[in-house]
Structure 1
Amino acid sequence: MAPYASDDSTTAGDVDEQRSGRRKAARYVVPVTVIGVAAATIGLVPALADSGDPDLPKITAQQLIEKIAKSDVQQLSGTVKISTDLGLPNLGGLESGLLSGAAGQGGSSADPTAKLTELASGTHTLRVAADGPDRQKLSLLENAAEYSIIHNGKDVWGYDSKSNEVYHGTSSKSPEHGKDRQPPATPKDFAEEALKAVDDTTSVTVDGTAQVAGRDAYKLVVEPKQSGSTVGAISVAVDAKTGMPLKFTLTPASGGAAVIDVGFTKVDFAKPAASTFDFTPPKGAKVTEEKDVGQGSEKAPGKAPGTAFGKGGAREHAPKAGEDFGKGLDGMKTIGEGWNAIATFDTGGEGVPSGGAGGDLGGFMDSLGDKVHGKFGSGTVFSTRLVNALVTDDGKVYAGLVTKDALVKAADAGK
């Protein structure tokens, strides 16, 4: 659907090695905090769709998931609203600086790697268009400005109207290009992540029907069977005709507003005009070429994405849940399975500095987390509404879509 999903690029080189570490960390933070829940596994519980409005033929959860898997929408245009509320602490503008720093690493405010990270918080409106695997466009609408990514054949353009900067990259032709994607931006991107693997740790039911963007849809509901997860439920509105997900909502076990709510407000499955994907840098715009940044990288950040359409997308390259969802971090292991899986690794150094030992830095870190104690010793838990992470004082990290108590228990068991 949208051309971009989670970025998996890495960098190398003496100077770039530190950047690589930061990018590697960001690469795992974004998927874990935004779509990590979708890696949880799904056990099918057949259920018939309840009668509702609209009145659609009955369908089982198994049949509906198969319908999603077979969906092969190649052409569309529409508007998507995405809201993300992870409950991240207020960093007093630091988060904006981090995003700006990421953009600076890419050499341009138009670099897609940094720009689309903004989707990890707040509410945004996107315009999307696609015409097969070689032509896609995604525009992030901002106040009096617009940011667009255009993939047309071998060319990938990023344009930031606010700064009048352009980023130009090239499309990956590798069959593994599905791994080289930006954060998800449409309901199908999220739904594909959620349906990558199935087992008996989750119940999946069909819970009636709905209308989304003027389309008749079935409602697929995914819920953990296990206790101790921070995930309450995932709801996916599936287009009755095409099988394409039109809306994705993730609610936390703690209640309240959705953590992730992304859905079409308008959608049209007609072929977009060819001119939709044309792009010429505006007069006076600063143009940054991909080859001028990320020198020596295995995959530069501007490499084009795979697409949620057609073959070779994320679904075909997705790891099964229960594997290390931080795969690629040296020494990372997984404790448990399904929704209660906890990733753990040893940083090889000291943990979070305390207020007494670390001065101002320690006090700042203490303010962001909760101090905990157990058989493992002591540590600090950093929490969002979805992902919790325990960093022990001796440098071990435990993170997952689980409660603080589950992390402490896992750390105790690791002693």
Structure 2
Amino acid sequence: MAPNDSAHPTEAADGPAPGRRKASRYLVPLAVAGVAAGTIGLVPALAASGDPDLPKITAQELIEKIAASDTEQLSGTVKITTDLGLPALDTLAGSLAGPDGGEGGAGSSADPQARLTELASGTHTLRIAADGPDRQKISILRDSDEYSLIHNGDEMWGYDSASNEVFHAQEDGKGEQGPGSSAEKRGEDLPATPKELADEVLKASEGTTSITVGGTAKVAGRDAYKLVVKPEQKGSTVGAVTIAVDAETGTPLKFTLTPSSGGKAVVDAGFTKVDFSRPAASTFAFTPPKGAKVTEADSLEGEKNAREEFEGGLADFAGPDVIGEGWTSIARIEAPGGAEGKAPEKGDAPAEAQQFLDAFGDKVTGKFGKGTVFSTRLVNALMTDDGTVYVGAVTKDALVAAANADK
């Protein structure tokens, strides 16, 4: 079994420029948050067959192994359990959307925005397949039906077998690419090699994060190392993030996020079966079944107008200010009317949404005045009576302290 091994290399004299160093301070927590949100179904409980005996490896070497992984083809079965301390969000979304899956019946039950919220609570089983950046498929398996999301080239299909509804979207091919593009310019600031990336991650972790190798595990029948990431700052709601990394390919196989308050994981997701061979091309082919209702993404004028109205409303919000750094970063957001001291009216929200919010509200007071803290097991938010919002993966006390110091 690989030993615990933390790594904090000393900074080289020719380290990154000040701008890059400042940005890298947020790399570890933001990367973990991104993994939690973006791969929330791509990463199994550890097998009971015993931990494998693998060669020793340092934390830096394991990060380099992950960065050097070139896995682009795989398929398998994934189990994901999410416990934010929230009610089933698919039920809430259904009550807000109406009986036909969208407000006023204008939407589609096959719309990914309606279906993928299911993964935010409860336990789910998924089948996944990937063949490079242009072909992916995720199927959420339910008792007697399933929902599939298929990306094949410039087309995306969503299919809900329960309602026999199809959602179809097509890319316009206008993405910015090539020399001089913003994507290329962003790439200029990224580490060029796995070792450089590992150095950046470890430097960013100094003073805020402990990164160690926490032994080995069997995941989906494969040997894996466990990379353990723990905040060193007080006030974070994150206890630890453990990523099981395939010893052969460097591919993350399991992701577990535990809260600082203890108890079961907030997110525990991973492969129960995995195959690194290329999936058959037919896996990504889709033709709407006979009699299926097909909704084209660009035909949802009502939804488009509502989205534009919502985005216009967001323009009234001041951009968030970030208080603190690392795991205890708190975003301060000035809600519309907040600068004038006008708080949102209680009746402004739909009854279902208001009931949902009130169930998690905890009245607090301080130098800032009065407000309400809305809590989950990971992310908490303080809304003051004057309309200012403080939100982060931090404790209630940390939010109140930030609001007090802000006055």
TM-score, normalised with respect to structure 2: 0.72
Whichever residue aligns with residue 324 of structure 2, its letter is G
Shift of 1:136: 1.2
Superposition misfits of 4+ residues, deviation over 4 angstroms: 36-39, 89-93, 99-103, 175-178, 294-298, 326-329, 352-355, 359-367
Q: How does 1:20-35 map to 2 (within 5 A)?
A: 35=33
Residue 289, structure 1, aligned to residue 287, structure 2: no
CA shift in 2, pair 1:131/1:102, >3 Å: farther
In 2, distance between residues paired with 1:151 and 1:35? Answer: 24
Shift of 1:199: 3.1
In 2, distance between residues paired with 1:285 and 1:135? Answer: 23
Residue 198, structure 1, aligned to residue 196, structure 2: no
CA shift in 2, pair 1:90/1:119, >3 Å: closer
Q: How does 1:387-398 map to 2 (within 5 A)?
A: 387-398=379-390
Q: Which residue, 333, 349, 357 being the options, matches 2:321? A: 333
In 1, distance between residues paired with 2:53 and 2:240? Answer: 24
Segments of 5+ residues of structure 1 without an aligned counterpart are 1-30, 40-51, 179-194, 302-325
Residue 348, structure 1, aligned to residue 336, structure 2: yes
Whichever residue aligns with residue 248 of structure 2, its letter is K
Q: How does 1:192-341 map to 2 (within 5 A)?
A: 198-200=204-206, 201-293=208-300, 330-341=318-329
Query: Is the Cα contact below 8 Å between 2:107 and 2:303 reproduced in 1?
Result: no
Query: Is the Cα contact below 8 Å between 1:108 and 1:165 reproduced in 2?
Result: yes
Q: Secondary structure at the match of 1:198?
A: helix
> Which piece of structure 1 moves more, 67-76 or 383-392?
67-76
Query: Is the Cα contact below 8 Å between 1:352 and 1:365 reproduced in 2?
Result: no
Whichever residue aligns with residue 394 of structure 1, its letter is D
Shift of 1:328: 11
Partner of 1:160: 160
In 2, distance between residues paired with 1:328 and 1:78? Answer: 44
Partner of 2:142: 142
Shift of 1:69: 1.3
Query: Is the Cα contact below 8 Å between 1:84 and 1:260 reproduced in 2?
Result: yes
Q: Secondary structure at the match of 2:274?
A: strand
Shift of 1:297: 5.9
Shift of 1:148: 0.4
Shift of 1:35: 3.6
Shift of 1:62: 1.0
Whichever residue aligns with residue 198 of structure 1, its letter is A
Whichever residue aligns with residue 113 of structure 1, its letter is Q
Shift of 1:229: 0.5
Shift of 1:327: 12
Partner of 2:67: 69
CA shift in 2, pair 1:365/1:63, >3 Å: closer
CA shift in 2, pair 1:400/1:227, >3 Å: same
Shift of 1:94: 3.6
Q: Secondary structure at the match of 2:102?
A: helix
Q: Secondary structure at the match of 2:234?
A: coil
In 2, distance between residues paired with 1:154 and 1:198? Answer: 37
Query: Is the Cα contact below 8 Å between 1:354 and 1:363 reproduced in 2?
Result: no
Whichever residue aligns with residue 112 of structure 1, its letter is P
In 1, distance between residues paired with 2:293 and 2:356? Answer: 38
Whichever residue aligns with residue 59 of structure 2, its letter is A
Partner of 1:368: 360
In 1, distance between residues paired with 2:172 and 2:63? Answer: 30
In 1, distance between residues paired with 2:87 and 2:344? Answer: 17
Query: Is the Cα contact below 8 Å between 1:146 and 1:160 reproduced in 2?
Result: yes
TM-score, normalised with respect to structure 1: 0.71
Whichever residue aligns with residue 402 of structure 2, its letter is A
CA shift in 2, pair 1:162/1:168, >3 Å: same
In 1, distance between residues paired with 2:333 and 2:65? Answer: 38
CA shift in 2, pair 1:360/1:111, >3 Å: closer
Residue 119, structure 1, aligned to residue 119, structure 2: yes
CA shift in 2, pair 1:119/1:94, >3 Å: closer
In 2, distance between residues paired with 1:92 and 1:353? Answer: 26
CA shift in 2, pair 1:93/1:217, >3 Å: closer
Shift of 1:291: 1.8
In 2, distance between residues paired with 1:73 and 1:63? Answer: 18
Q: Which residue, 398, 401, 407 being the options, matches 1:406? A: 398
Query: Is the Cα contact below 8 Å between 1:131 and 1:271 reproduced in 2?
Result: yes
Partner of 1:60: 58
Segments of 5+ residues of structure 2 without an aligned counterpart are 1-28, 38-49, 184-200, 309-313
Residue 151, structure 1, aligned to residue 151, structure 2: yes
CA shift in 2, pair 1:130/1:410, >3 Å: same
In 1, distance between residues paired with 2:293 and 2:203? Answer: 44
Q: Secondary structure at the match of 1:370?
A: strand
In 2, distance between residues paired with 1:115 and 1:90? Answer: 12
Query: Is the Cα contact below 8 Å between 1:83 and 1:121 reproduced in 2?
Result: yes
